[in-house]
Amino acid sequence: MRDSNRLQRLQQRPLWDFALALYARPGVEQACLTLQDEAGVDVCELLFHCWLYQQGLAASPGPLATIRAERMAWQQQVTATLRTLRRRLKPEAAHNEAVKALRATLQSAELQAERENLQRWQQWALGSSDADARLTKSDISQHNVAQWLQDTLFSTPLDNDLCRAPRGRERTRAALFALASQLDRCESPR
């Protein structure tokens, strides 16, 4: 897929800027945290798909699997390690200024790791060519965004995942709908 208008619009709105703007919208932060903590969703990948959706694009499943594995390794080895350390220090930071400062440093490092991850997702998308077909035009209607995100992020349907409690499925779906409700309608290419 070579749609220079869509790719040009991706270049004009960096993924990091898009992620910050979306994350600041009502309910998005909580939805992302719910999806991360209860459903194991990589929020950077989630934001990446939302960014593509905004420009009428989607990642092709084959090429996506390769970059997903690479980016997931980063998330697990770098970002999640920093997050775990930061969260582990939270109780002690409440009454120890030195630990509070350390926790703030870890939080900053975690944010930098997420930014680097998003930049790598963006580089991958912008490196798309007809030959590798990383991106395709998206035909997702605004009414189906939550379902599309669910299908893109989860390898099995939520209803068939026996490990997930019914209440967890409900919270996961609610988080997907909350996030989808904050995405602007996809612009038609000119």
Q: Which two tokens stand for residue 185?
A: 């309608």
Residue 5: per-residue pLDDT: 74
Q: What is the pLDDT of residues 131-187, one digit of tens each?
A: 678 888 887 777 788 888 888 888 655 554 534 566 778 899 999 999 999 986 444
Q: 149 Cβ partners below 8 Å, 6+ apart?
A: 46, 49, 50, 176, 179, 180
pTM: 0.86
DSSP 76: I
Q: Which of 33-42, 52-61, 114-123 holds the top average pLDDT?
A: 114-123
pLDDT score recorded for residue 162: 39
Residue 154's pLDDT is: 83
Please tell me the least confidently modeled range out of 40-49, 60-69, 149-158, 170-179: 149-158
Counting residues of the chain whose pLDDT is more than 70, the rounded percentage is 86
In the predicted model, is pLDDT for residue 2 greater than 70? no
Q: Where on the phi/psi map is residue 133: left (φ > 0), alpha (ψ -120 to 50), or beta?
A: left
Using CA atoms, how far residue 103 sits from 29, 74, 77, 95, 184, in Å, is 20, 21, 18, 12, 35
Of the given ranges (21-25, 53-57, 167-171, 179-183), which has the lowest mean pLDDT? 167-171
pLDDT in tens, 128-140: 776 678 888 887 7
